[in-house]
Chains A and B, each alone.
Chain A
Amino acid sequence: KNQVEQSPQSLIILEGKNCTLQCNYTVSPFSNLRWYKQDTGRGPVSLTIMTFSENTKSNGRYTATLDADTKQSSLHITASQLSDSASYICVAPSGAGSYQLTFGKGTKLSVIP
């Protein structure tokens, strides 16, 4: 069964601190994994996509990694800001077509002053 599991479910950190969110996937066949950020009351927005060809990718203060051997992806946030408070969702396509997606339940991050 295709699955994407995220940890932790929720996280509270102080502004300025770093944090790492985890995503374990068991989808077949695997082609890529995408991270989305969802602010409260808004729809998710794509942060980055990870494929076999790149195991590390940075987008500002966000760095995503992919380990195909352990089937894990992580999202590291550096020097957190209050605006980083959001839910972070990882998603992987699965099944016969790339339009079939498996969603993680997300990690709710709260950054407090």
Chain B
Amino acid sequence: KAGVTQTPRYLIKTRGQQVTLSCSPISGHRSVSWYQQTPGQGLQFLFEYFSETQRNKGNFPGRFSGRQFSNSRSEMNVSTLELGDSALYLCASRGTENNSPLHFGNGTRLTVT
């Protein structure tokens, strides 16, 4: 089975711009979640989607949004970028079995200048 795929791998944007990140989950996984990772802060939960519905949301401003498509692929959008948005953005999918682990992609490294 192919793993979780995130594109692009690296991205450089300037303040005020917007960005869209993409995530393709493991085949058969309907849950996709997004995380922001910065040094010293660890993994910060952004949101989770299950069967195209947002199931849970973290404490991030409304500039951060996401969606999930019928094929379970997900996108995350950040509008009006700020310098503090520079981070590694990780996507993870998981199966429906009880206590199933998160399967992470290798992330998108976003740099805002």
Residues of A within 8 A of B (CB): 31-32, 34, 36, 41-46, 49, 51, 89, 91, 93, 97-101, 103-106
Contact (Cβ within 8 A) A100 B56: yes
Is B45 positioned at the interface, with any CB of A under 8 Å from its CB?
A: yes
Residues of B within 8 A of A (CB): 4, 31, 33, 40-43, 45, 48, 50, 55-56, 90, 92, 94, 98-99, 101-107
Contacts of A46 in B (CB 8 A): 101-103
Given A32-B99, A98-B99, CB of A41 within 8 Å of CB of B45: no
Contact (Cβ within 8 A) B42 A103: yes
Contact (Cβ within 8 A) A49 B99: yes
Q: How many A-B residue pairs have CB under 8 A?
A: 52
Main secondary structure of the interface of B (DSSP, over half): strand
Given A89-B42, A100-B56, A104-B42, CB of A43 within 8 Å of CB of B107: yes
Given A43-B90, A43-B105, CB of A99 within 8 Å of CB of B99: no
Contact (Cβ within 8 A) A43 B106: yes
Can you list 10 A-B contacts (CB < 8 A)?
A: A36-B102, A43-B4, A44-B43, A44-B90, A44-B104, A45-B104, A99-B50, A99-B56, A103-B43, A105-B41
